[in-house]
Amino acid sequence: MKDITGRKPDEIMTADIAIIGGGASGLCAAIEARGRGADVVIIEKRPTLGGNISMTEGMFGNGSALQKEAGIEPVPAADIVEEELIYTNYRCSAALWLDYVNKSAENIKWMMDHGVKYSGVSNYRDISSFPCFHWWEDRIGGTASKALSAAAEASGARIRRNTRALELIKEDGKVTGLFAEDLKTGELIRVDAKAVIVCTGGSSANAELFQKLTGYDASLAKGKMSDNTGDGIVMALSAGAAQTSTAFLGKMTPVGYPPVTQLALGTCFQPLLLVNEEGVRFVAEDLQMKKLTALSNNAMMAQKATYVILDSGNVDMLVKNGIINGFLSFYKGDPVPKLREELDAAADKNDGAVFRADSVRELAEAAGLPADRLCATVERYNALCAAGKDEDYKKDADHLFPVEKAPFYAIRQGMEILTTIGAIDVDLDNRVLDAKGNPIKGLYATGVDACKLYKETYNYQMSGGMIGYCVYSGRHAAAHIVENLK
């Protein structure tokens, strides 16, 4: 038996379920399937398991025992569903949200039963609409990843690390397995299975696919926080899967610079003056503090280009008092003592990310912005700061910081991509659908590869919703497969 290249497989494996990807949804699917007696193979191209969960801080859950212990009353599911429907202009799946929310407390318990520990429940940095965010034990998902990985190992799932899935096998309209390659030996592996679950973590590291799915200019997304290349998405689409809208989680950062630098933390993450390619304001700059990054990213992506404008006084303030707005493990008040040093070093590089000048007009000329408009914008903004009221965009008075003292800086913003969300169309049982809306037999997709909760914009006001969906969808797909194998 040969694959399409004519190569004969070096190894043939058989299983009830083949899972492509050992991240959160893949691990949860494997543990659930093994608990129901199914034979499972996980194909993971990395040497380690866990995937994107290590970048998370916790997960969504409503009605959990932890909430009750904290004195938090369960939120009516209808209120949560309504919030999401309004957020997406009624374009998300209400039925999916309702089932997800109703099962979320049990999913928290299931995670705890498999070794995952939590440190508390809150409304996530005072951002979430409801107090449903369950913090991981260390507020970063490393321990949760280790717990799920250990549980998958203990379940008896066969795990092939350093092995990349290449292609789905489809016979008579049904997916019956896959081909994979051992990245260390180059050996070709054929996996015959009764069902395949795709859960490969999105396409944040595949510029061409990312731009095709999201419509965002990939040339501005020079950074990436994962190495997910959309393998499962490509395989599913090649097997006839229909494509759906794709959102993504990103963080504005100086073009070409990672977000975890003092340069990024002290500029792009803070409520400082923002202008577009025409040198004018376009948003209340503290939007990212009120709605976190998703909606502020939308506002910025509606422009052709965006720039953070700050002066020496802003730099002094941040160096003295620390940052105002945090990100992941960085919190308000965290120090940025090297901010000026990193600003000047980047400006000296002249690489198109940071510009410096002794006047606003000279700054505009250096950055290629319309000088008269930028000067007028800064003059108007400083007047609003002096008055203590933003009559243009209603930015909070506490975040009105004037731009008056040389040297002045302009930071050209790019995007660091954390993950994509969605792409593969699935039904309520996570069965992959074709262009006519019919299930492709034997093929399922979960996690960020096939999330239909959000349409184009992730909702941070339902914080932890995506990782919660990874748990939900992995378990849900596995349960459906096993029930139909009987």
For the segment 326-371, what is each residue's pLDDT rounded down to a tens digit? 877 788 999 999 999 999 999 999 999 999 999 999 999 999 999 9
Structural tokens at position 48: 């380690």
- Residue 6 pLDDT > 80: no
Q: In this predicted model, which residue has the larger pLDDT, 217 or 133?
A: 133
Let me know: does 132 contact 119? Beta carbons within 8 Å: no
Percent of the chain with pLDDT over 70: 97
- Residue 390 pLDDT > 50: yes
The answer to whether the predicted template modeling score (pTM) of the entire model surpasses 0.85 is yes
pLDDT of residue 74: 96
- Between CA 212 and CA 209 the distance in angstroms is 5
In this prediction, residue 2 has a pLDDT band, given cuts at 50, 70 and 90, of very low
In the chain, the amino acid numbered 106 is: E
Let me know: does 251 contact 418? Beta carbons within 8 Å: yes
pLDDT of residue 1: 40
Q: What is the CATH number of domain 250-417?
A: 3.90.700.10
In this prediction, residue 441 has a pLDDT band, given cuts at 50, 70 and 90, of very high
Instruction: Report the relative pairing of strands 188-198 and 439-445 from DSSP bridges.
Output: parallel
pLDDT of residue 250: 81
Q: Does residue 402 have a cis peptide bond before it, meaning omega lies within 30 degrees of 0?
A: no
Max CA distance (Å), the chain? 77
**Listed range (85-94, 114-123, 127-136, 296-305) with the worst mean pLDDT:** 296-305
Residue 417: other Cβ atoms inside 10 A:
25
> Would you give the distance in Å from CA 181 to the centre of its chain?
27
- Residue 313 pLDDT > 70: yes
In this prediction, residue 453 has a pLDDT band, given cuts at 50, 70 and 90, of very high
- Residue 265 pLDDT > 60: yes
> Would you give the distance in Å from CA 373 to the centre of its chain?
35
Q: Taking the C-alpha atoms of 202, 203, 204 and 207 in order, what is their torsion angle to the nearest 10 degrees? A: -170
Q: How far apart are the first and last CA of the chain?
A: 28
Residue extent(s) of CATH 3.90.700.10 domains in the chain: 250-417
Residue where the block lists tokens 């003056």: 273
Q: Which CATH number applies to 11-246+422-485: 3.30.1540.10, 3.30.930.10, 3.50.50.60, 3.40.50.300?
A: 3.50.50.60
* Element of type H or E holding 154: helix 142-155
In the chain, the amino acid numbered 470 is: C
The 8-class DSSP code of residue 430 comes to -
Torsions phi, psi for 196 (to 5 deg): -125, 135
pLDDT of residue 224: 55
- Residue 230 pLDDT > 50: yes
Interior/surface letters 354-374, b for 16+ CB within 10 angstroms, e for the rest:
bbbbeebebbbebbebbbeeb
Residue extent(s) of CATH 3.50.50.60 domains in the chain: 11-246+422-485
> Would you give the distance in Å from CA 183 to the centre of its chain?
27
The beta strands (E) that lie in 124-277 are given as: 133-136, 158-160, 163-171, 174-182, 188-198, 223-224, 247-254, 273-276
- Between CA 80 and CA 77 the distance in angstroms is 5
